[in-house]
Amino acid sequence: ARNRCDLLWHLLVLVESPSDAQRGVSIDLLELLVDENARSFELLGRVLPASLMSCLYVKWQQSAQAELRGRNTGSRQRKAVHNWPLLLERLRGDCEGCEMIWNSRCRGDLSQALKAEIAEFDCARRRYGETKVIWNDGEFSVQYPALQDQIKVGR
């Protein structure tokens, strides 16, 4: 799925679709594409600003702390639970504070980069044949011109 730009398509739907139902399907599919797939999760980290990625960890931190308080976990491994609904909420809304800046200009930067990459990939598939073209996700990242003039703390 990553080789066909599916992850980018679903991110674009999350940012642009007016349909709550379609966004719901796309967030579920995005979760399936990224779940336990380090390479896809890394791609997501190159596409979204670190402040947006951090909202995925909120639920995991809370559930891990509650589990540690509630019982003896020993050496059992615990699967990370990511907060996809919060990511969707943050992608669609505006936030301008000291921890995160995300607004219509940032969404525009993301949409433009996703559309350009998808269009380039689709053009290559039409030119060379659908089965001969594989998307090289390792070379893709999104730059946010809207955030270039902002003061950055940390990464």
Tell me, what DSSP letter sits at residue 98? S
Label residues 92-106 b or e (16+ Cβ within 10 Å = b): eeeeeeeeebbeeeb
**Which single residue is written with the structure tokens 């921890």?**
99
In contact, 29 and 10? CB cutoff 8 Å: yes
Q: Which tens digit of pLDDT belongs to each residue from 35-88?
A: 888 899 999 999 999 888 888 876 555 555 665 666 555 444 445 678 888 888
**pTM (two decimals):** 0.80
Most confident of 33-37, 96-100, 141-145, 146-150: 141-145
- Residue 124 · residue 133 · CB < 8 Å: yes
Instruction: State the pLDDT confidence band at 14, using cuts at 50, 70 and 90.
Output: very high
Give the whole-angstrom CA distance, residue 104 versus residue 53.
18
What 3-state DSSP class applies to 93? coil
The half-sphere exposure of 105 on its side-chain side, counting CA atoms within 13 A, is 11
* 28-42 pLDDT, tens digit each: 999 998 888 889 999
| Direct distance between the N- and C-terminal alpha carbons of the chain, in angstroms, rounded to an integer | 29
SS3 per-residue string spanning 114-152: HHHHHHHHHHHHHHHCCCCCCCCHHHCCCCCHHHCCCCC
